[in-house]
Chains A and B, each alone.
Chain A
Amino acid sequence: GESVGLHLPTLSVQEGDNSIINCAYSNSASDYFIWYKQESGKGPQFIIDIRSNMDKRQGQRVTVLLNKTVKHLSLQIAATQPGDSAVYFCAENRWRGNNRLAFGKGNQVVVIP
């Protein structure tokens, strides 16, 4: 059987520090991006989204930055808390006219108390 699993990039961060999670996308036509958080044993939860006509969007303790020139998306979490420990996925809408999303592989964030 298969024994090699998906090795997610892991970010270990001290509680109280800021976290930055990065995501590269490949389709320059993508016009909508979302960050999801998935805690162990749960479904992905919406965190924040951004449209391609924006460079930055802020939420509560989170900021999403979009660099269309290099097709890069990042999620910044301020004052990281233990409850922020999770896998974070970026997703993009590549298909105009429908709601389909393409998901990245995910980034594991581990908060050290």
Chain B
Amino acid sequence: DAGVIQSPRHEVTEMGQEVTLRCKPISGHDYLFWYRQTMMRGLELLIYFNNNVPIDDSGMPEDRFSAKMPNASFSTLKIQPSEPRDSAVYFCASSFISSREVRETQYFGPGTRLLVL
């Protein structure tokens, strides 16, 4: 089992540039979450999807942030234009609900470390 896969693992960019973060959830999982982690605010939920549909994007900081999930095995988080305050570690996580047992456990990817100069 490969777990949640994120790319790139590290990203350094200049202010104003577009940044695209990618996530492949665990096969069979029907929930996908995007989080941001900083020293200031800890782990923040940005947006989450269920069956590829965005359910709650109230955590998205502003219109510069957008997320898509075109299919069950792929999601992107895009920042355009990027700003220095967007520097953080961005995590993707996935989970599932089975017909026999409700399991809310989220499995996290290794994260993308973003630095905006």
Contact = CB atoms under 8 A, between A and B. Distances in A.
Interface string A22-43: 0000000000101010000011
Nearest to A33: B104
Secondary structure type dominating chain A contacts: loop
Interface in B96-117: 96-97, 102, 104-111
Interface size class on chain B is 20 to 34
Contacts of B106: 34, 46, 91, 99, 101
A32 B104 CA distance: 8
A53 B38 CA distance: 34
A64 B105 CA distance: 15
A49 B107 CA distance: 13
Secondary structure type dominating chain B contacts: strand
A45 interface: yes
B18 interface: no
Given A42-B110, A45-B108, A46-B105, A98 B55 contact: yes
Interface size class on chain A is 20 to 34
A105 B42 contact: yes
Contacts of A36: 108
Interface stretch (B43-51, B63-71, B74-82): B43-51
Interface of B: 4, 31, 33, 38-43, 45, 48, 50, 55-56, 91, 93, 95-97, 102, 104-111
Interface of A: 2, 4-6, 32, 34, 36, 42-46, 49, 89, 91, 93, 98-101, 103, 105-106
